[in-house]
Amino acid sequence: MSSEDLKSRITRLAVELGFAASRIAPAAPPPHAAEFLAWLAEGHAADMDWLHRNADRRTDLQKVLPGARSVVMLAANYWQGPRPDPPADAACGTIARYAWGGDYHDWMLERMQRLSDVMATEGGVQKIYVDTGPVIERDFAALSGLGWHGKSTMLINRRLGTWFFLGEILTTLDLTPDPPEKDHCGRCTRCIEACPTGAIIAPQKLDARKCLSYLTIENKGSIPLEYREALGDRIYGCDDCLDACPWNRFATASREAIFQAKNTVLNRPLRDFLSLDNQGFRALFRGSPILRIRRPRFLRNVCVALGNVGTTDDLPALTLAAADPHPLISEHAQWALTRIIRKAEILAGCRAHGLPYSQDLREKQASDFHKSDSLLA
């Protein structure tokens, strides 16, 4: 089979398997290898030590697959439309869209293996990765024309917006590469302006130490005090820079059932998560990307969210969480208890003195209230 015929067959099969797009990149050095190494040296990867350990492989595909000549880049659309309406009687948490449904890794890997099997019949040797491989995948996705690097560092596709997963098949086959896509961001900076913590420190440059997605998912320790309020009601990831992208107006809903939202999780009151033991956590999130951060990190996030949006109705659940044997849960539950009690005291004081009160009261306002003798006179 000729290179073009094999490429056409891969493209057709990718569509049949449910992928939204398939493109070919050359197995060349990643264009941003130098920037990646500088980013690591500047400490912007936070404690994601594995990025340092395999940096040499990430910047040279030949160390990953000797003889690699092409990279088949694949996109899976996970857009599910508007967020479901939450119940009105209790605070619910916000979860990043990619984790609304089932875990995409197995879904993609199984289908990518079928593509690799076709390539093997033509003499190709392949390696398949979805997130976990030592590959700067967005560089190869951009080289293939699957999209372009947005200022948020996310890849943007004119048809899919930002709502898609990436997977790559490295192969020794020499497939005809597709032309790269042009940058269509222009002067738009909406993603940078939307970031709650200023984590996008320059166009296409992210400081993970400030990123709410990193802090709620990859971060294994406490959430720094200076970022807890910015977390709002988020309990897994953050989509603010993606939501802000105007290219998402062209996104259409995925037809894959595995990516459909599980309302039993999305509309679950925050305080109800705190009753989960390890077995209950695993049962609730079986087949979900959320499962991988485990119960302590997830309940840590829930406690911070309750500290931001919870009410006195949530105090009993938080009191139990404050007694949890895991220090990550107990510490953040204590913080949330203090926040809610302080807000309740302020509300009572405002009502007693006929002063206006907003549910969006910030920590500085709370401090000012307690310090002001005139307000309490």
C-alpha neighbours within 13 Å on the C-beta side of residue 13 = 16
Listing DSSP states for 109-169 in one string gives: HHHHHHHHHHHHTTT--EEEESSSSS--HHHHHHHHTS-EE-TTS-EEBTTTBT-EEEEEE
Query: At 112, phi and psi to the nearest 5?
Result: -70, -30
Two structure tokens written together for 349: 């004081």
Helices (H), 310-362: 315-322, 327-352
pTM of the model: 0.90
Residues 300, 328: contact at Cβ < 8 Å?
Answer: yes
- Active-site amino acid positions: 131
Distance between CA atoms of residues 334 and 338, nearest Å:
6
Measured CA to CA, the distance from residue 261 to residue 286 in angstroms comes to 14
The region that residue 123 occupies, defined by phi over 0 for left and psi between -120 and 50 for alpha, beta otherwise, is: left
Residue (of 162, 187, 146) closest to 242 by Cα position: 162
Q: What is the pLDDT along the chain (377 residues), one digit of tens a residue?
A: 788 999 999 999 999 999 999 999 999 999 999 999 999 999 999 999 999 998 999 999 999 999 999 999 999 999 998 887 777 777 899 999 999 999 999 999 999 999 999 999 999 999 999 988 999 999 999 999 999 999 999 999 999 999 999 999 999 999 999 999 999 999 999 999 999 999 999 999 999 999 999 999 999 999 999 999 999 999 999 999 999 999 999 999 998 999 988 888 999 999 999 999 999 999 999 999 999 999 999 999 999 999 999 999 999 999 999 999 999 999 999 999 999 999 888 777 777 777 776 654 444 444 443 343 333 22
The one-letter amino acid at 186: G
What is the dotted CATH code of the domain comprising 3-81+98-171? 3.40.109
Domain ranges of the chain: 3-81+98-171, 269-366
